[in-house]
Amino acid sequence: MGTTVTHAPAREALSRDSEPRHGPVKPARPAALKRRRRRENLAGYLFMSPWIAGFLLLTAGPMVASLYFAFTDYNLFDPPRWIGLDNFSEMFGDPRWRHSVQVTLWYVVVGTPLKLIAALGVALLLAQKRRGQAFYRAAFYAPSLIGASVSVAIVWKAIFSDDAVVDRTQQLFGIDVGGWTGDPDMIIYALVALTVWQFGAPMVIFLAGLKQVPRELYEAAEVDGAGTLRRFWNITLPMISPVLFFNVLLETIHSFQIFSSAYIVGGGAGGNACGPADGSMVYTCYLYVQGFENSRMGLASAMAWLLLIAVALVTAVLFWSQKRWVHYEEGAA
């Protein structure tokens, strides 16, 4: 890996140049210590000042504002008007909102496991040192970089449209469901396919984890006569469980927030922003429609807070569950 390799020689060179150390630094007198501490505090906050300004202005402040908007009727032009829980009751009573929740959950529940299984499977394949390994790793990673672009979404829409490649291939097998992007029930699977296609990013993380598994464990297991499956289940999986946890957490959180691909793949202009018969109307799409097309900023804020709560709950459940299935090596946790 480039990073450590580059700085290791630098470390040697520089430590050779530095003064020989004369034991631990002498404890300073209390007054001097206090002065130094104050200087450190000042330096710390000086260096941190861009982040602190950003945090207050662009994160904490907006979060508070958004929480307030969630309980108001706000159309951008008139001042926000307090309406209590009306936004939430409107949401729960809105079939289109419930539909968007359903579409999103389906996308998360189907897409995330498929993507992670693909990532782990290919990582296991690539973990074997063979010729071309580095090339394949790079090539498989590439979709993760371009997958979020409008270009790929356009290509996806074309490939999955009526009479295009996917449709024709299905027909070869006698399946006649037409293109996926024109079908309200199928378009979500085109989006699932798009996210699975980007399995490269979690794959790279899995690969890094697999490289950390001590070889001796496999050798010992082999001596004991454990088969491939047993070794995978009893050695590989527990050993990479922290990495698995990390990937599950990030991919799940990420899936909840899908927007661009749903908006473009499902997109026409204006009204039917998200797919035929709202087929790809994921949560954030509906949030965008309500906030920016219908100028319902209060309602959209309420929707955003529910999304935040959902993501926080999922995160909390995952962290709670990790005691049961994530094994940190001693000293690592």
Residue 231 Cβ vs another protein, minimum distance, rounded to whole Å: 7
Q: What is the 3-state secondary structure (H, E, C) of 237-256?
A: HHHCHHHHHHHHHHHHHHHH
Please identify, using beta-carbon distances, which residue of 110 and 148 lies nearer to another protein.
148
The residues near 147 (Cβ < 8 Å, ≥ 6 apart) are 194, 195, 197, 198, 261
List, as one string, the DSSP characters of 250-311. HHHHHHHT--HHHHHHT--SGGGTTSGGGTT--HHHHHHIIIIIS--HHHHHHHHHHHHHHH
Please identify, using beta-carbon distances, which residue of 186 and 264 lies nearer to another protein.
264
Please identify, using beta-carbon distances, which residue of 110 and 124 lies nearer to another protein.
124
DSSP letter, residue 83: -
d(CA 265, CA 260): 8
Residue 222 Cβ vs another protein, minimum distance, rounded to whole Å: 6
d(CA 208, CA 212): 7
* Segment holding 52, helix H or strand E: helix 30-54
Please report how the helices 241-256 and 95-126 are oriented relative to each other, as an axis angle in degrees rounded to 10.
150
DSSP letter, residue 56: I
Please identify, using beta-carbon distances, which residue of 47 and 92 lies nearer to another protein.
47
Residue 187 Cβ vs another protein, minimum distance, rounded to whole Å: 16
Residue 79 Cβ vs another protein, minimum distance, rounded to whole Å: 11
Please identify, using beta-carbon distances, which residue of 112 and 236 lies nearer to another protein.
236
Please identify, using beta-carbon distances, which residue of 58 and 277 lies nearer to another protein.
58
Please identify, using beta-carbon distances, which residue of 83 and 213 lies nearer to another protein.
213
Residue 277 Cβ vs another protein, minimum distance, rounded to whole Å: 19
Three-state secondary structure call for residue 206: helix
Residue 116 Cβ vs another protein, minimum distance, rounded to whole Å: 13
Residue 105 Cβ vs another protein, minimum distance, rounded to whole Å: 15
Q: What would the two tokens of residue 15 be?
A: 């430590």
User: Among candidates 258, 124, 150, 145, which has minimal Cα distance to 203?
Assistant: 124
Please identify, using beta-carbon distances, which residue of 7 and 35 lies nearer to another protein.
7
Residue 210 Cβ vs another protein, minimum distance, rounded to whole Å: 5
Residue 21 Cβ vs another protein, minimum distance, rounded to whole Å: 8
Q: For 97-133, give one letter per residue: b (16+ CB within 10 A) or e.
A: beebbebbeebbebbbeebbebbbebbbebbeeeeee
DSSP letter, residue 72: E
Amino acid sitting at position 275: G
Please identify, using beta-carbon distances, which residue of 180 and 288 lies nearer to another protein.
288
d(CA 222, CA 201): 31
